[in-house]
Amino acid sequence: MARLLFLAWVLLFGACERTLERDVIVDNLIYGIDTIPVYSTSAEKDKLKTTTQFVSTAYSQLYLRPIPSGTLNDLALLRSSHGDKNLIGELVISHFLADNAVLATLPSDAEMNTDPEAFVELTYLRFFLRLPTAYERYALSRQIVSDPETTVVEVYRAFLLSNEYLYY
């Protein structure tokens, strides 16, 4: 009798199969576009860019395309092999800003002078990945308005050679 009861219990409860249901939520689709963090302040940037990061970032922000690996290797080797990295950084940036391919991607001086505040905001986002503070927006806009000889190339050079640009 005990065997029969045990067999009935096994058949009754053992035959029940528990089905598990899983909800799969896909919330991070990858479309081949990298997200860019936007910083609130410059104080959030505390990591110094490596030579490769500096050259690669400057190239991609000016040419609006990734740097070819051969060019990156050559420029990184040049910057790493010299004791004064700031000097080589200035030479590299000056070379980039003199290239016609870069000049074609820049806003014109007339566009900058037409709406200096919008230009300042876009420039901060492009190079510092953050919005300018009210004072930064005012000071740079005032500089652009007060000195009509200021060019987009000079402003971009100043941003690329700034201390904040060296950090991420």
**pLDDT, tens digit (0-9, with 9 covering 90-100), for 107-134:** 999 999 999 999 999 999 999 999 999 9
* pLDDT classification of 45: cutoffs 50, 70, 90: confident
Rounded Cα distance, 3 and 78, in Å: 85
* Span 42-166 CATH architecture: Orthogonal Bundle (1.10)
Rounded Cα distance, 116 and 147, in Å: 12
Is the confidence at residue 68, as pLDDT, over 60? yes
Q: Flag whether the pTM goes above 0.75.
A: no
Give me the residue spans of the domains in the chain.
42-166
**pLDDT, tens digit (0-9, with 9 covering 90-100), for 79-113:** 888 888 889 889 999 999 999 999 999 999 999 99
Range ranked top by mean pLDDT from 35-39, 74-78, 140-144 = 140-144
CA dist 143 → 14, 45, 136, 137 (Å)? 82, 26, 11, 10
Rounded Cα distance, 122 and 168, in Å: 18
Task: Please give the backbone phi and psi of residue 18, each rounded to the nearest 5 degrees, phi first.
Answer: -85, 125
Q: Give the residue, 86 or 24, on which the prediction is more confident.
A: 86
When pLDDT is averaged across residues 15-38 and rounded to a whole number, the result is: 56
pLDDT reported for residue 160: 96
Is the confidence at residue 36, as pLDDT, over 90? no
Report the b/e string of 134-162 with b at 16+ CB within 10 A. Answer: eebbeebbeebeeeeebbbeebbbebbee
Rounded Cα distance, 18 and 90, in Å: 68
Beta bridge partners of 39: 130
When pLDDT is averaged across residues 134-138 and rounded to a whole number, the result is: 95
Rounded Cα distance, 143 and 114, in Å: 14
Q: Count other Cβ atoms within 10 Å, centred on residue 128.
A: 20
Report DSSP state, residue 32: S
